[in-house]
Structure 1
Amino acid sequence: MASLLRAGWFRWMLFLLLLLPLVLLIQALLNGDLGADPAKVIVKDLGFWALFWLWLTLAVTPLRRLLGWRELILYRRMLGLFAFFYGVLHLLAFATFLVGWRMDILLTELTKRPYIIVGGLALLMLLPLALTSTQRMQRRLGKRWKTLHSLIYPASLLVMLHFVWQIRSDFSQQLIFSILLALLLGHRLYLKRRS
């Protein structure tokens, strides 16, 4: 497994896999397969994949420890950047298709729907992580880099809150992701207390 994770072609395969949901969404849009409200589907799907890749980013460290696959760390940055990328697309799709870039509607949404505020705050927290994700920035920031990148934890809690506040009837997806987040953050808390 170690040699597979180190292979250059595996990185490209993962890159294409991370792009696949976007490609499939565009294809469904062009084919008219997004149902009666395509704008809502686009916003929802992009948000889901932002959350999914963020949870996978958080899962790298525990999986690395549990499975002994140290090379997984090579892909954490890519996963995190794709989580941010889908988050930005989610915001842009919301602003374009649901708000039409009208500030009056956006201000109304911000005051009437707190889930939009927490979603925006989460994305703002992830922005410095994306901007400082390079090895050069890691060297430049030194110990502060790790402190800065611990923003992923409160950001993930805000993302979860953003996701939960949108429940209409079926809450099974939110429950699954809440349990996963509790396990991922609980694992880190356990290791921190142990050390």
Structure 2
Amino acid sequence: MAFVDRFNSAVRRLPAWTVYVGSVAYAGWVFFQGATGALGPNPVEAIEHAYGEAALYLLIAGLAVTPLRRFAKVNLLKFRRAIGLACFFFVTAHLLTWAVLDVQALDRVWADIVKRPYITVGMAAFVLLLPLAVTSNNVSVRRLGPKWRQLHRLAYPAAVLGAVHYVMLVKGWQVKPLVMLGIILVLLALRLPGIAKPRRARAAGGAQSRA
């Protein structure tokens, strides 16, 4: 526990805006590499995939905040909003790279959304994340009250759809997309009442016995 306490103490001193700075810096670095030919013969596709993977990593990080706090006592709550907004930033960058630099035609964008299942799934994930990004501010929290938490549970199906989009996108059964989907499913399973509540109950029982 001493290590966890030191880690939490260090995290408290780290400002949440570092997540935004790191995300923008990484996005700019990837784009620069693509523009200078460092990403191979198809830089647009490489940029598109890099942004999409970054979004999934951040989705996983956001989903991990609560289980880490509940089961490992690691407190990253101050970063959760920044992680969510950074995730939406990369999802949007992924979408714009595909639509503007890859497809380059509005009619073809719509046709791909309708005809290609993996794009349909990815767009569904984006639509679910959109209201979460719009309401990720203190004003929305106050105005929506308890409904704010209910709304932000849309992150759960959005994460699953994002991972399924990745699995469908790659050719063949590759390990990384399946691992990412599995991690997301495990993180969501840890939120099930049968797993979360008994642990809290045992903790409360231990506190009472010590009293």
Instruction: Give the TM-score normalised by the residue count of structure 2.
Output: 0.84
Deviation at 1:115, TM superposition (A): 1.1
2:65 and 2:80 in contact (8 A); partners too:
yes
- Structure 2 counterpart of 1:6, which letter? R
Identify unmatched segments of 5+ residues in structure 1. none
Name the residue aligned to 2:204.
none
Partner of 1:165, secondary structure, is helix
What's the offset of the Cα at 1:167?
2.4
Which residue does the alignment assign to 1:94? Answer: 98
Tell me which residue corresponds to 1:84. 88
Indicate if the aligned counterparts of 1:4 and 1:10 stay in contact, CA closer than 8 A: no
Separation in 1, partners of 2:136, 2:107: 35
Match of 1:55 in 2: 60
3-state SS, counterpart of residue 188 of structure 1: coil
Residue 128 of structure 2 corresponds to which residue in structure 1? 125
Q: Which amino acid aligns with 1:11?
A: A
Q: Is the 8 A contact 2:160 2:185 kept in 1?
A: no
C-alpha deviation, 1:163, in angstroms:
0.9
Deviations 1:152-177 (A, max 9, x none): 11111111121111120351111210
2:68 pairs with 1:29? no
Select the residue among 111, 115, 119 that pairs with 1:116. Answer: 119
How many residues get paired? 192
Residue by residue over 1:66-120, the C-alpha shift from the partner in whole angstroms, topping out at 9 and shown as x without a partner, is 22133x10000000000001001111111111111x2331233123311111111
> Would you say the 8 A contact 2:113–2:123 is kept in 1?
no
* Matching residue of 1:2: 8
Once residues 93 and 118 of structure 2 are traced to their aligned partners in structure 1, the CA distance between those partners, rounded to angstroms, is: 17
Amino acid aligned to 2:152: H
Distance 1:137 1:123, change over 3 A: same
Output the TM-score relative to the length of structure 1: 0.90
Match of 2:38, SS state, is coil
Gap change, CA 1:103 and 1:145, over 3 Å in 2: same
Residue pair 1:122, 1:156 contacting (<8 A) in 2 also: yes
Change (3 A) 1:141 1:12: closer
2:189 is aligned to 186
Q: Aligned residue for 1:158?
A: 161
